[in-house]
Structure 1
């Protein structure tokens, strides 16, 4: 089994429990109606989705002492365009309460970063104040992805549709995804290669589709590379969680857009 297979097997168990125990509407969190697509497409500097995660399957513990609200406020102050919050516990040590804490303290878009396989997770994400959810092409058949995409859209949520290869990109385009995240990390091997963004960006109309490059952003040269390919946003997790000077890290990664 790949790491993704293991995560999805656990997620199926979690969804069964969620269906038994979670009543849609039972939690209420501040809502901020703001479009990530609109704000990112109009920006003149690289947009950063700063991620909050305590651990990952590939790196183990990264920052298990992080306080979500405090970290979220710092991210916003330093110039984050949005905040991604991992809410998977078995593999990332996250929980839905982390995202709620961030939502209550910030006024920028919040992404519920999880392995969404069922409508009940979308209901909970909405209740917890998410502006966006993540759908991963590699995780589900196209029919199910289409169903969940529509369900989330109908609730007023935006969708970061994650792809890693040409076949998955074709699925995203058939479904009509307007925010496409190219994951430079192979979810089966967890190896990272920025050439994935460069290759797939050539097949995306970035004047209409918001391209987000995910994983592998460690220094300015990495960001300049994906910016030249057409990315207007980057999702940065480990680099942010390990940074000892977040303001400096943001200033380094927020390269000008529209230059090549």
Structure 2
């Protein structure tokens, strides 16, 4: 996966260079959504009436291939929001994941929950772009950024009113957490072996600075796992493939949320 990640990052840098020529920063700043007041995913994750789940819209991935090429983004994201999602995660990378910035903008017009722009952000331009397309949160991946890059990108996001989710998997990446990282995502899946280890994620989360909201990512497909992670201090649970691989992702999400609520009520 590290080779795939390096390939994605290298490709992304060429895409950003082209985008800067085709759509300069001033054009982004002139977009109607650029001055929109953002929604706080941190606040939404703390609302007890919601599920704590950040439901993801993803068509495909480099490792799994096509996951869902038939469910429209408008239909799925609206169903997720109506069923109690605390937030949405939308892939905006086309080349590797089949997404687009337009997917996020289309969802933004329909829902009033925070939206995470899930992409491989390596340049401040992409942060500005996230603001222009209607995102409330950006994802930064510790594996492909230096501590200084995380600091710079998270500061840019903060100045634009965006929240930051920093994704990590190893203890060595803890030192990359900056003041303007609002949430830390612990990827339960090893990006090299693809092995999922919830216990390792819980141990890593315990070492995070106080006050950082903890989000569990990857490999979550049952209610008991969410309850275990919640008891370990996690507030958010990023889930996508589990729902997207169903014929009707929105209905699958609703069933899952209802079952989770019933389990919590016992």
Give yes or no for TM over 0.5.
yes
Q: Cα gap change, 1:19/1:188 in structure 2, threshold over 3 Å: closer, same or farther?
A: farther
Structure 2 CA distance for partners of 1:88 and 1:188, relative to 1, 3 Å: farther
| Per-residue deviation, residues 225-251 of structure 1 (Å, max 9, x unmatched) | 211211011000101212343310222
Tell me the matched-pair count.
Answer: 256
Q: Gapped runs of 5+ residues in structure 2?
A: none
2:38 equivalent to 1:33: yes
CA contact (8 A) 1:3 1:188 kept: no
Task: Compare relative contact order (CA 8 Å, sep 6+) and give the higher one, 1 or 2.
Answer: 1
The CA deviation at 1:66 is 2.2
Change in 2 beyond 3 A, CA 1:34/1:129: same
Cα distance between partner residues in 2 of 1:218 and 1:96: 27
Q: Does 1:129 align with 2:134?
A: yes
**Cα distance in 2, alignment partners of residues 167 and 221 from structure 1:** 29
Q: 1:189 to 1:5 in 2, by over 3 A?
A: farther
Matches of 2:201 and 2:231 in 1, distance apart? 10
**2:51 is equivalent to residue 50 of structure 1:** no
Matched, 1:199 2:195: no
Counterpart of 1:251? Answer: 258
Q: TM-score scaled to structure 1, two decimals?
A: 0.91
Task: Give TM-score scaled by structure 2 length.
Answer: 0.89
What RMSD over aligned residues (CA atoms) do the two structures have, in Å? 2.1
Q: CA deviation at 1:191?
A: 3.1
The CA deviation at 1:202 is: 1.5
In structure 2, distance between residues paired with 1:6 and 1:124: 22
How does 1:171-210 map onto structure 2 within 5 Å? Answer: 171-172=176-177, 174-175=178-179, 177-204=181-208, 208-210=211-213
SS at match of 1:105: coil
Q: What is the aligned partner in structure 1 of residue 79 from structure 2?
A: 74
Counterparts of 1:189 and 1:4 in 2: how far apart (Å)? 13
Relative distance call for 1:250 and 1:44 in structure 2 (3 A) is closer
Q: Which residue of 2 aligns with 1:19?
A: 20
Deviations 1:65-98 (A, max 9, x none): 2211111110011110110000011111000000
Change (3 A) 1:196 1:176: farther
Distance 2:102 2:260 in 1: 29
